[in-house]
Structure 1
């Protein structure tokens, strides 16, 4: 680690020393980012476990675990102010003093700090916070999730297939399909690598028009060129590129394990998936979970997964549905989400829309 970076971290965690393990570096980074959280769980045998989340997203769970802990004072769970800390080591015992604002201080003694990290599949996950072009917003979310885990954790958590997709987040026309209401432009740089990454994918998809638009954009990276690329991706012409990127993210994800919540919870999750399959088959759809088709309508089941540890109590496994209606593009994945006179694509939180009066897509 560069000395200047180490010295910077010492400003946020005084007492940090070179003989401490790398997990202490991560702890210092949390205080620098004002992202420190402490979770205390009581195990069935009565033992208390102390967890500090380092990075938790849909592709990675990384926790710092404090061993043989004892604590004085009280951690304020809902505290929103400035958190400061000091660290020391006395023989084989670590000491962490944390101050939340001016009025609350607590101290933790522990024998060691270790890192527990697991990568998980993410290709079935879909969060839908913004209406319109949800098919692209979901892929931007996935690639952004991979970009973030690589930024924090490096090569140890990313395969070569994933790293080849990361430059897409450095291309403004791709980021324009932000999965959240806010722009992503301040979070990611614009680079020539981003342009070349998208151009390579366009050529793989046989989309020469987009490849030429990207050549122009490389020379003239102005808003008008960005909008032309964005409109192309939104139209039916963008479907081949979408399918290529969809397949690549799916293949990259499948090398990782699925989240394991224990036998009972895993079976409950599988039963929810089976219930979706039964419901759609009863309605005349063909296919297998998560993809079903009936005439010009496709339904793709997308999931929201809780963390295996430290998840909020009110969040549980959920299934939402990408509904696509398209006469011309019924054979193309999510074809109805792309702009066209006979195309419709939207999100449903459940399958109740199939009961009685048909969906708004079929009504048209």
Structure 2
């Protein structure tokens, strides 16, 4: 067990997070660990889960006794000691106690491609909200796992969560009650502005470049909102497209999630339907981008596997989109 894994475990416990993926056969309806819990095995503890990464702290060769309630939401009490050459972790959920006897704790990380992820929880300017979401989960990966799990371009892109015209201040991808606030979200970082200026220069968007320089010197909320408006205007569309391209290039070597042959067959069928529609739109001179919404592979959540077509349109000098859904079934 390394100092890094101990720090990550402490981080979860400080946040009152302790989601074990315990096989159903080891649990009773009351939450008690059955006699089968006395057999040693590897049990993962969820660390960071999002569309970009599924990561776990894995208790190696662990035995468990007591009770564990996966739906518990409240304060945790924890203590750890060493006993007979093994580690002993005691977790208290209110009046119930879970004890884990384990030999080691290791970090397990699975990285995935996320530049084509689509979650349409909030309407209007969906393409900017998708960018906000992808950059936010990238930054979580960077913050929780470090540079070793990011490409060079991802490290640069991660700074853009500190660019208020594009972060959740102006284009939240999730409803307000689900936003995890960052400290001083309206204050831009120098790295973020420099990166956006590089993109604007590459696009030869002189008016946006000037506005970015003005914003760097005067980082007020008013000017952040003004820049946010510019991002959905058709005349500044190239920088948004370039940003999406950078994300696609940065994540190109990561795999897509795989859910078995049966689900893959359903995915390919839905993909063909979506591509057929995409070809029809293209023949009419209409751009449509393919996006997907996936559940997790290991800790399966309630999301269905879906594909989306994001259909681009222009409306009074602004770029807008319509969304079509294709369920993999």
TM-score, normalised by the number of residues in structure 1: 0.78
Paired residue secondary structure (1:39): coil
* Structure 1 residue 32 corresponds to structure 2 residue 20: no
Residue in structure 1 matching 2:298, options 305, 309, 316: 309
Residue in structure 1 matching 2:172, options 170, 178, 188: 178
1:65–1:113 CA contact under 8 A, matched in 2? yes
Greater Rg, structure 1 or structure 2? 1
Paired residue secondary structure (2:71): coil
Residue in structure 2 matching 1:151, options 143, 147, 162: 143
Aligned residues: 308
Instruction: State the 1:132 CA deviation.
Output: 0.8
Paired residue secondary structure (2:219): coil
1:97–1:108 CA contact under 8 A, matched in 2? yes
Q: Tell me which residue corresponds to 1:237.
A: 235
Q: Tell me which residue corresponds to 1:348.
A: 324
Q: Tell me which residue corresponds to 2:55.
A: 62
The one of the two structures with greater contact order (alpha-carbon pairs below 8 A, sep at least 6) is 2
Instruction: State the 1:349 CA deviation.
Output: 2.8
Residue in structure 2 matching 1:104, options 96, 113, 123: 96
Residue in structure 2 matching 1:78, options 36, 61, 71: 71
Aligned residues: CA RMSD: 2.4
* CA-to-aligned-CA distance 1:23-66 (integer Å, 9 cap, x gap): 222111100111221110269xx986522011111111111111
Q: Tell me which residue corresponds to 1:142.
A: 134
* CA-to-aligned-CA distance 1:139-170 (integer Å, 9 cap, x gap): 11111111111011111111111112122111
Q: Tell me which residue corresponds to 1:3.
A: none
Distance in 1 (alpha carbons) for counterparts of 2:103 and 2:326: 49
Change (3 A) 1:315 1:229: closer
Q: Tell me which residue corresponds to 1:15.
A: none
Distance in 1 (alpha carbons) for counterparts of 2:319 and 2:192: 30
* Structure 1 residue 224 corresponds to structure 2 residue 222: yes
Change (3 A) 1:225 1:262: same
List runs of 5+ in structure 2 lacking aligned partners.
26-35
Change (3 A) 1:110 1:344: closer
Residue in structure 2 matching 1:129, options 101, 121, 126: 121
Instruction: State the 1:258 CA deviation.
Output: 1.8
List runs of 5+ in structure 1 lacking aligned partners.
1-18, 287-291, 326-335, 352-364
Change (3 A) 1:343 1:61: closer
* Structure 1 residue 201 corresponds to structure 2 residue 199: yes
TM-score, normalised by the number of residues in structure 2: 0.86
Distance in 2 (alpha carbons) for counterparts of 1:228 and 1:198: 15
Distance in 2 (alpha carbons) for counterparts of 1:28 and 1:184: 20
